[in-house]
Amino acid sequence: MVYIPVLGALALSAGTVLERFILKKKKIGIGIYQTAGFLAITLATLPFLYFFWKLDAGAFSLKNIIIFIGVIIASVTANLFVFYSLKWEKVTNLEPARILEPLFVVLLAVIFSFFAEGLYERNIKLIIPAIIAAVALIFPHIKKHHLGINKYIIAAVFGSFFFALELVLSRLILDFYSPITFYFLRCIFIFLISLAIFRPNFKVLDKKTSAVIFITGAIWVLYRVITYFGYLNYGVIFTTLILMLGPMFVYILANIFLKEKLNWKNIISSLIILACVVYVILK
């Protein structure tokens, strides 16, 4: 069943390439894209709620409601940090900061494992390869001009941290939801908050762009549902490691569809990540 997280990595790569296409080729503002994206995700999940709705009574305990609110706050905070950084800094300059998310997920999962026994892995033979893969993931994105740290790059780092915190917090309450229910509730709250903050004018989106945003939203649904499924069945760190194959697929898809050139750093990074995944699966 390891192929399920691998499918998630493919969905991650497809969603990332489409997102790049929308933001770079269509020149859409981050605010309107975020709001339209969460609307698309919400609409894409609706048909599946009838078949996969699950919301156990345990979700309504005070502790679990507070955790759910924490997930929403972490996600909104992450998006605001990313929006702030992207508004004033080039996307390429922010890549090393944004790609830190898997490393933060692994480290936070290790910390949380001491407080929520049984929900997070503590196997050193898994943790070390995951950290090596996460560092290898960052390696191709570091260039000389990235060494100058400014407040926008720091904001992007905080964005990655809060995205990771959201994911690790989610595991505390995922047992009370189906993955599709949890993602729907998460996204509809974030959509409403984004709508209030950005007040976007959806009329500027043409039909083709709207269709691409909806398709991208549907792909993100697939990716996140698989991520939650992986957390429940394989563990947070193992799933995160498998999902790190996503950038390898991104390099291939971006080369084919966006004509972005591969370089030796991308290839070495991909080989290291692949080796870590194979080691963990075969150990």
In this prediction, residue 148 carries a pLDDT of 54
Give the number of domains in the chain: 1
Distance CA(93)–CA(143), nearest Å, equals: 9
In this prediction, residue 146 carries a pLDDT of 46
User: Is residue 145 predicted with pLDDT exceeding 70?
Assistant: no
**Average pLDDT over the chain, rounded to an integer:** 85
Per the CB < 8 A criterion, the answer to whether 18 and 212 are in contact is yes
Q: pTM for this structure?
A: 0.87
List, for residues 120-142, the tens digit of each pLDDT value.
988 999 999 999 999 988 877 66
List, for residues 233-283, the tens digit of each pLDDT value.
999 999 999 988 877 777 676 667 656 676 777 788 888 999 999 999 887
List, for residues 189-205, the tens digit of each pLDDT value.
999 998 998 888 888 88
Band (116; pLDDT cuts 50, 70, 90): confident
List, for residues 161-182, the tens digit of each pLDDT value.
999 999 999 999 999 999 999 9
User: Is residue 110 predicted with pLDDT exceeding 50?
Assistant: yes
* 235 or 30, which is more confident: 235
* 100 or 21, which is more confident: 100
Return contacts of 108-117, CB within 8 angstroms, 24+ apart: 108/164, 108/165, 108/168, 109/168, 109/171, 109/236, 109/237, 109/240, 110/237, 112/168, 112/171, 112/172, 116/171, 116/172
In this prediction, residue 1 carries a pLDDT of 60
In this prediction, residue 63 carries a pLDDT of 96
Distance CA(111)–CA(96), nearest Å, equals: 23
Average pLDDT over residues 81-103: 68
Q: Exposed/middle/buried for 261, CB within 10 Å: 0-12, 13-18, 19+?
A: exposed
Name the residue range of residue 23's domain: 3-282
Distance CA(111)–CA(94), nearest Å, equals: 26
Which of 26-30, 68-72, 158-162 has the weakest average pLDDT? 26-30
Which of 27-41, 122-136, 206-220 has the weakest average pLDDT? 27-41
